[in-house]
Amino acid sequence: MFVSNNSCLAPTSFWLTGIPGLESLHIWLSIPFSSMYLVAVVGNVIILAVVKAERSLHQPMYFFLCMLAVIDLVLSTSTMPKLLAIFWFGAHHIDLDACLAQMFFIHCFATVESGIFLAMAFDRYVAICDPLRHTSVLTHTVVSRLGLAALLRGVLYIGPLPLMIRLRLSLYRTQIIAHSYCEHMAVVTVACGDTTVNDFYGMGIGFLVLILDSLAITASYVMIFRAVMGLATPEAKLKTLGTCSSHICAILVFYIPIAISSLTHRFGHHVPPHIHILLANFYLLIPPILNPVVYAVRTRQIRERLLYILKAGAHPK
């Protein structure tokens, strides 16, 4: 490791603290975190298996749900194994390249997930406002292209983040990152030199993804609610809104934790560090846990297929 005259380092690895301030509780914290990770993995794998097995679910909304399940598996697996290794084995070290790769996967797939929610809002808009054209507009090819567009957008938006760190920020005040994973701002904060470009690019991407996507989703639902209010009977209105309830719940589960974590990080200067880090971990864990639950509870076909599988397992031939 090279040490410069101004005491800045050129590290080949970093030291992740885990949950700062709660080091003595790491082994106990591993119990809820490992349990939540297991629930997230099992729940999303079940969703993928049920949609694949049930041909009646081979529809745009459930294809998007499968994309969400894959994204949630990537997001949770990008952080939880390393966090649990810190809790269980004290494996705090992470190589610089591994740190940048983790940063890319976390921020990229969070961006992709936001794009999938936007595509699902478009699906609900077409299904309710122009139902006769739904199957012709949302074909399997179109669904695939929307998913690919969300992935490419994530790569294009987030790809420069680790590259700018690698190319522009080679010196750091310390190897210690007060976080449980390589979050962009946590790494930039300990860098020496001018980080203005990195700061503004990170904030710009946050604005583009969170603000613009949420505004577009809100606009689609305003048009959906206007179409629903034009229906003749209260029963028809409730039935139509019921088809959107799972999507609305999933959107709230995704955006609310991110908004709380981001606001706390930006403005909660008096909030204890362990609260910041716990919130940052929860926003990567809560959607993977709750999305399968929301869709299993709210979607009759998924619920019935799960009950069928459970009954078949309880009464084998």
Residue 2 has pLDDT above 50, yes or no: no
What is the pLDDT, as a whole number, of residue 317?
Answer: 55
- pLDDT, position 27: 93
Range of the domain at 216: 13-314
65 falls within a domain: yes
User: Is residue 7 a part of any domain in this protein?
Assistant: no
- Confidence band for 71, pLDDT divided at 50, 70 and 90: very high
Instruction: Label residue 6 by pLDDT band (50, 70, 90).
Output: low
Task: For residue 211, tell me if it sits in a domain.
Answer: yes
In a domain, 6, yes or no: no
- Residue 166 forms part of a structural domain: yes
- Using alpha carbons only, how large is the chain's radius of gyration in Å? 22
Domain count, the chain: 1
Whether 287 contacts 251, CB under 8 Å: no
Mean pLDDT of the chain: 88
Task: For residue 306, tell me if it sits in a domain.
Answer: yes
- The residue-averaged pLDDT of 68-94 equals 95
Tell me the C-alpha distance between 257 and 267, whole Å.
15
For the domain that residue 156 is a member of, what is the CATH number?
A: 1.20.1070.10
Helix 300-314, helix 273-298: angle, nearest 10: 80
DSSP 8-state assignment for residue 11:
-
- Asked if the structure places residue 3 within a domain, the reply is no
pLDDT tens digits, 112-161: 999 999 999 999 999 888 888 988 999 999 999 999 999 999 999 999 99
Residue with token string 């938006």: 157
Question: Is the pTM above the cut of 0.85?
Answer: yes
pLDDT in tens, 288-316: 999 888 887 777 778 777 787 777 766 66
